[in-house]
Amino acid sequence: MARVLLVEDDDAIRTSLGKSLTAAGHVVSAVAAGADGVAAVARERPEVLLLDLGLPDLDGRDVLAMVRAVSDVPVIVATARDDDASVVRLLDAGADDYVIKPFSAAQMDARIRAVLRRLGQDPHEESTVEVGGLRIDPRSREVTVDGAPVDLTRKEFDLLLALSRRPGAVVTKRELLAEVWGLPWGGGDRTVDVHLSWLRRKLGETAAAPRFLHSVRGVGIKLSVPDGDG
């Protein structure tokens, strides 16, 4: 189903999980160190990265930052910490999902499939969305404003695409956390706010002077046609 890179220093876990994911239909390659993982991401271009945070050579969070500097590959992090603050920090740092140790191979397979569904959203079946001067192409993942290309990160694009699926409707931050970050509970408003701020800047607007993205206090955000754009 997917080309998976596993970065895990425990030999038993690496071997067992690799075999189970291969049996589930994935093409799995595995390394034991963080530096090797970063190099493999650049070399192999996997479709999903499974990253253990407890690595022998580098802190897993540093590996995540290095990966994000060179790739938008979806990252699922394995962590022993399940408190909200730790999880939100991981998602803010660029992780797409997480599993809490100990976990089963079946659970990891389900997470991989969920991340791929969330990021893909059946792009071949989605049409280009136009909202005033804003044009969003889900298939090519390209965005233009008044004909000029806008360079978005993967999360910024996913956030904009999620809003574009409900043009004119107010989407709550909880809905966005679930759809874009796979975080189906409250407490992550800062994650949405930060990415929304970056997205607005790239679209040439601000919260005080919005063009496309309008905040509805206490409710959420809506994508709508600006006055004068037609």
What confidence tens digit (pLDDT) does each residue in 74-95 have? 999 988 877 777 778 888 888 9
pLDDT at 120: 64
Fold observed for domain 129-223: Arc Repressor Mutant, subunit A (1.10.10)
Does 124 have pLDDT greater than 70?
Answer: no
CA-angle at 169, arms to 163 and 175, nearest 5°: 55
Domain boundaries, the chain: 2-120, 129-223
Same CATH fold assignment for domains 2-120 and 129-223: no
Does 5 have pLDDT greater than 70?
Answer: yes
pLDDT at 156: 92
pLDDT at 127: 79
pLDDT at 51: 94
CB 1 within 8 A of CB 116: yes
HSE (CB half, 13 Å, CA atoms) of 76? Answer: 26
pLDDT at 138: 84
Quote the distance between the C-alpha of residue 137 and its chain's center. Answer: 18
pLDDT at 125: 52
What confidence tens digit (pLDDT) does each residue in 166-212 have? 888 888 888 788 777 766 555 567 888 899 999 999 999 999 999 99
pLDDT at 27: 86
Q: Of 4-8, 22-26, 201-205, which gets the smallest average pLDDT?
A: 22-26
Q: What is the 3-state secondary structure (H, E, C) of 147-166?
A: CEEECCCHHHHHHHHHHHCC
- The CATH code of the domain at 2-120 is 3.40.50.2300
